[in-house]
Structure 1
């Protein structure tokens, strides 16, 4: 609930209440990526040296939720209020990234490989339902206030902090097993070289980075189109998120089941192709009901992408260096997440919104086809075998 409320309504707060510029909306996406990149670099050095991950995750995620109070306490009388909100949001991503790295290492330790798709599918359904409830309630409440008023948003961010405190309490209740093999690992730079020489891991990191660039390039463009062009209010922004999350709830388990039957990379490529259509579909019409439908369509495939990007990372990572592999992967994607939104805004300055969204669609589609490349090779091999036998 906490992260869903903040991520959904901070853009609306910036554009409607604080009148942020397009560049500040781009920084809303790229600055957290920069702080996340720095945190990922530190995490890559720090986390592999931990023997237990729960305490680290609890501390860093609680620090993240504390930064939600900064969003509420930004002095609004200053002309720099929008920039301060962007900075506070970026600051939140530093402990959030460290917390995610710790949580990923913890959950990889707790959940065996054979259960990952089903576990994450069910878990994602539950947390999406809860997050959906928070978004609906928040969007409905904001509808009663002037969209340019600032106080309602401040109250929302305080509420997000209180929900985050409950989240941290539940996280602290995890029981992490202590094994005799769990020992702090000394920092060895050769570990990163060994990881890169691991072909399945290297290939997956490069594919994920390429796909994420096209995926994240259009993230600030969605907020600009939906709020500035389609004039979506708080209720409609909540409806967009609700439509996406409702579709995710309905399809998480399906993607996990299909990944077990047909392979995670194949289903990741198919999910990516569906997600690739979203940018171009979005700019076809500013009709708010239509955009709600596009967000529902997006959620069908987004659930597969978010589920399988992580599970396939775990499968591609060497078990002996998994925590380091996760951290290094996040460093690479942190670079992508910092650069891609800025590229999207630069494109918007040079060309029309429709053309920028089309480029994102084509890039996403190309990345999805790369995920399917091993399948294409298998199909060609089978066709060749069939032709030879014929």
Structure 2
């Protein structure tokens, strides 16, 4: 962790107190992310396995597992779009919402597996937890924009994502091995995992509480419809939102299909699902820093284009064989490029957002992507009977590749200069 933090004597702020606050915030951000990654990783990785193997869920339920949390997240984004831009400080807002989201894991553990509606209840609780999760993320993004100077973001978040992924990797290995000692039809181990995730989530929140958020700051702009229309007139922000939404639609189109293919077609067990996650995370750890450095040299959008081209081939590669070792290799390949997109979707959002309305811009962006996250997986499941697994995966690949190419098209300088006051990038 020491290598991530700025060293004494680094010229970031002439104020020693601000410099020490920066180091403290970076340290706590990494620890907060590490516990959060394990907690959320347990749930996102093993809930589909729980539903399919232990509760014998249908394809439609798996589709709803992707779509309903996205719909709830969209609701959270709409609430946050009005709420977050009115805030002077973001830490406590994020703390309360993240705590609510993590406690929902305990509610999932409390759902009786023998209940006739257990499938629906698990999906419902998971979806409801997405509302505070989304609100917490909106507050966290605004908090990070406030605490981490723009010149340090790619480097710091590249290191941060690598470190927390290493921790998540270790957690997945342990859990995947542990599940091999139990019958996959037995629901108890999964419910214990949800309790563990809830406890880790509380520890995650405790490190978020320790962030030092400065007092004061600019007075938030009153939230009127004019704020949204003004945001849409900023060429850089408008283009970024459209590109991110278009790419994410093709990216998420196949997300529920991977779970269905891996578990129902390839007959992957809990250990194999864990290995798939480990494979992806292992290559993400290696490449996070590289993508951050590449973005600093070539630009964020161009880097997203290269990352997207790599991600685009994953659905096509997946359907070539149900062999479990082969699928593990595909996940290794996926992690090489997913790390770049994961890192840059956030950092480029901050760069593209007008500083005067940054929190409103973040909320606007999350509303758009929340709508995409609801519609796209549902479309994938809807097309599955008509196109089959191969056809739907191929559609996702084509969509991803086209969207990736669009990232390479530069924004005309004349448009960038047309509204200098609004397109200003905050120097922090």
CA–CA distance in structure 2, aligned partners of residues 263 and 182 of structure 1: 29
Q: 1:306: how far off?
A: 0.6
The equivalent residue for 1:257 is: 293
**1:313-365 deviation per Cα after TM superposition (whole angstroms, max 9, x unaligned):** 11111011111000000000011000000100111111120111000000000
The equivalent residue for 1:104 is: 141
TM-score if structure 1 supplies the norm length?
0.95
The equivalent residue for 1:120 is: 157
CA–CA distance in structure 1, aligned partners of residues 113 and 179 of structure 2: 19
Higher share in helix:
1
Q: 1:296: how far off?
A: 0.7
Q: 1:184: how far off?
A: 4.2
Q: 1:242: how far off?
A: 0.4
**4+ runs of 1 displaced by more than 3 Å?**
none
Q: 2:257 aligns with which of 205, 211, 221?
A: 221
Unaligned residue ranges in structure 2 (runs of 5+): 1-37, 414-428
> Quick check: 1:241 aligned with 2:274?
no
TM-score if structure 2 supplies the norm length?
0.87
**1:202-234 deviation per Cα after TM superposition (whole angstroms, max 9, x unaligned):** 111011110000000000000000000001000
The equivalent residue for 1:21 is: 58
**1:177-211 deviation per Cα after TM superposition (whole angstroms, max 9, x unaligned):** 113x3334422210000000111101110111100
> Quick check: 1:364 aligned with 2:396?
no
Unaligned residue ranges in structure 1 (runs of 5+): 379-390
CA–CA distance in structure 2, aligned partners of residues 133 and 168 of structure 1: 20
> Quick check: 1:186 aligned with 2:217?
no
The equivalent residue for 1:230 is: 266
Work out the number of aligned pairs and report it: 376
Q: 1:77: how far off?
A: 2.1
Q: Retained in 2: the 8 A contact 1:105–1:323?
A: yes
Backbone CA RMSD of aligned residues: 1.1
Q: Retained in 1: the 8 A contact 2:254–2:380?
A: yes
The equivalent residue for 1:385 is: none
After the TM superposition, which residues 70-219 of structure 1 pair with which residues of structure 2 at under 5 Å, given as runs? 70-179=107-216, 181-219=217-255
CA–CA distance in structure 2, aligned partners of residues 16 and 251 of structure 1: 33
CA–CA distance in structure 2, aligned partners of residues 16 and 151 of structure 1: 12
Q: Retained in 2: the 8 A contact 1:61–1:95?
A: yes
Q: Retained in 2: the 8 A contact 1:283–1:354?
A: yes
Secondary structure of the equivalent of 2:116?
Answer: coil
Q: Retained in 2: the 8 A contact 1:65–1:165?
A: yes
Secondary structure of the equivalent of 2:317?
Answer: helix
The equivalent residue for 2:391 is: 355
Q: 1:170: how far off?
A: 0.8
> Quick check: 1:41 aligned with 2:78?
yes
